Amino acid sequence: MPDTTEAPRPMTRPAPQPAAQAPASASRPVRFRGGGFVAEPRRWAALLAFVIAIAAWEASGRLRLVSPLFLPPPSAILLALQGLVADGSLARNLAASLMRIGVGWTLGTAAGVLVGFAMGIWSIARAIGLPAVSALFPIPKIALLPLFILWLGIGEASKFATIGLGVFFPTVIATYSAVDGVPRNLIRMGQSFNMPWLDVLRKVVLPGAMPGILAGFRISASIALILVVSAEMIGADYGIGAFVLNAGNLMLTDQLLAGVLVLSLLGLAIGTALSLLEKTLLKWR
Question: Which positions touch other proteins (CB under 8 A)?
Answer: 69-70, 137-138, 140, 142, 145-147, 149-150, 153-154, 169-170, 173-174, 177-178, 181, 211-212, 215-216, 219, 223, 226, 233-237, 242, 245-246, 248-252
Closer to other proteins by Cβ: residue 75 or 246: 246
Residue 159 CA, distance from chain mean position = 21
Closer to other proteins by Cβ: residue 18 or 140: 140
Q: Tell me the CB-side half-sphere exposure of residue 67, using CA atoms within 13 A.
A: 3
Cα–Cα distance measured from residue 58 to residue 251, given in angstroms and rounded to the nearest whole number = 20
Diameter of the chain by CA atoms? Answer: 86
Of 229, 222, 99, the C-alpha closest to 171 is 222
Residue type, 121: I
Closer to other proteins by Cβ: residue 101 or 174: 174
Q: Collapsing DSSP states into helix, strand and coil, what is residue 210?
A: helix
Closer to other proteins by Cβ: residue 81 or 244: 244
Q: Closest separation between CB of residue 226 and other proteins, Å?
A: 7
Q: Closest separation between CB of residue 211 and other proteins, Å?
A: 7
* Residue partners of 174: CB distance under 8 A and separation at least 6: 112, 116, 212, 213, 215, 216, 217, 219, 220
Q: Closest separation between CB of residue 273 and other proteins, Å?
A: 19
Q: Closest separation between CB of residue 173 and other proteins, Å?
A: 5
Q: Closest separation between CB of residue 153 and other proteins, Å?
A: 5
Closer to other proteins by Cβ: residue 81 or 173: 173
